[in-house]
Amino acid sequence: MEVTKQNFKDCLVEITKDIEEAHFISIDTEFTGLTSERNILPFDTSEEYYEKLFRSTKGFIIVQLGISLFKKDPAENVFDFNKLFSSGVGVCNEKQEEKLRQEVKERQEFRQEQIKIRTSDEQVDTSSRNFLPVPENEKELIDNAKEKIQQVIDIKFLRQNLRNSMVSKGN
């Protein structure tokens, strides 16, 4: 349903009724702008993540609001999510599955460690909280990328210094 200022009053009764009958509501907003929240961390709680996003929208105006309403109809919604795991068709062999399970376990253990760091010592350098383990087979690639990025930064720095020195000398 498209709601505009011309039909808002006419739609309000139906919208209110549908909201009251909904089992789940999803809201989407579009703003006049957004700031980039730089301190969102991979292990933020839902509340922390929401608060950071909320702060990043302050000062902007909502220009569009979307509301999606959902009702559970037992006659239509019969998907048994548990069947996915108990009776689903496998997509990897046992060895691959074990490797994936181990990787998930390691990520969970790492996440738990990060939570302990956060809760036990708020003075810990925040950059360490942003750390995610790099797989051994990707370390060389990442090191090369970091080196190239540093070279670009160094070149830009040198160019800027060269321009500044030329301007100050009157060239």
When pLDDT is averaged across residues 41-69 and rounded to a whole number, the result is 86
Question: How does DSSP assign 112-156, residue by residue?
Answer: HHHHHHHHH-TTS-HHHHT--PPPGGGHHHHHHHHHHHHHHHHHH
How far is it, in rounded angstroms, from Cα 154 to Cα 85?
A: 51
- Per-residue pLDDT band for 132 (boundaries 50, 70, 90) equals low
Residue position matching structure tokens 């999803």: 26
- Alpha-carbon separation of residue 96 from 13, 91, 93, 143 (angstroms): 54, 9, 5, 28
How far is it, in rounded angstroms, from Cα 40 to Cα 50?
A: 10
Q: What is the pLDDT of residue 38?
A: 66
Could you read off the pLDDT of 8-44 as tens digits, one per residue?
Answer: 999 999 999 999 999 999 999 898 887 766 677 777 8
Could you read off the pLDDT of 64-116 as tens digits, one per residue?
Answer: 999 999 988 878 877 777 887 788 777 788 898 889 889 888 888 887 777 67
Q: What is the pLDDT of residue 7?
A: 93
